[in-house]
Amino acid sequence: MNKVLSALTLLLISAVGAAAQRPGNVQWSASAKPAAHAGDYVVVLHAEVENGWHVYSAKQSPGGPLPLVIRVEQGTPFSLDGAITGSNPVQHHDASFNLDTEYFMGTFLLNVPVKSTTQGSGEIPLAVRFQMCSDTTCMPPRTIHLVAKVNAS
């Protein structure tokens, strides 16, 4: 029994270590601040992309990489309310796709305008779908889920 437990423990430690070493990491966070009108908010997405990698922006040509998509989760009293602004993406001809692409490297911010049908405290749940690549490797698209807390003022 001890040998089985030791083997399972070693396997678990190896799996956790392998997941932590996965290439192409992005750290995301979200915060909300009130906008000019009652019930309006700006969710600020902060991303830090691992050195040597980039995240494609929302503007991509057909046949190219998956564009960045940000949405408010369904079933909540929040919805997107306008164009997303923020850091300027790098424009680059990507030989892998033979297309002009736009992407973010390093640290970048995105301002997501959100409208609420209620007022007061709450949480704005967001889904962020993105694809990232290095100069030699593209990772499969991923979706992450974030929550920005809204405080009543």
Q: Which amino acid is at 62?
A: P
Of 136, 133, 10, 5, nearest in space to 64 by CA = 133
Residue 63 vs residues 33, 74, 89, 102, 128: alpha-carbon distances, Å: 36, 28, 19, 14, 20
CATH 3.20.20.70 describes domain 23-150: no
Domain ranges of the chain: 23-150
pTM of the model: 0.80
Q: What is the pLDDT along the chain (153 residues), one digit of tens a residue?
A: 544 444 333 333 334 443 445 667 999 999 999 888 877 999 999 999 999 999 999 999 998 899 999 999 998 999 999 999 999 999 999 887 899 999 999 999 999 999 988 876 689 999 999 999 998 898 999 999 999 998 755
The predicted structure's pLDDT at residue 87: 97
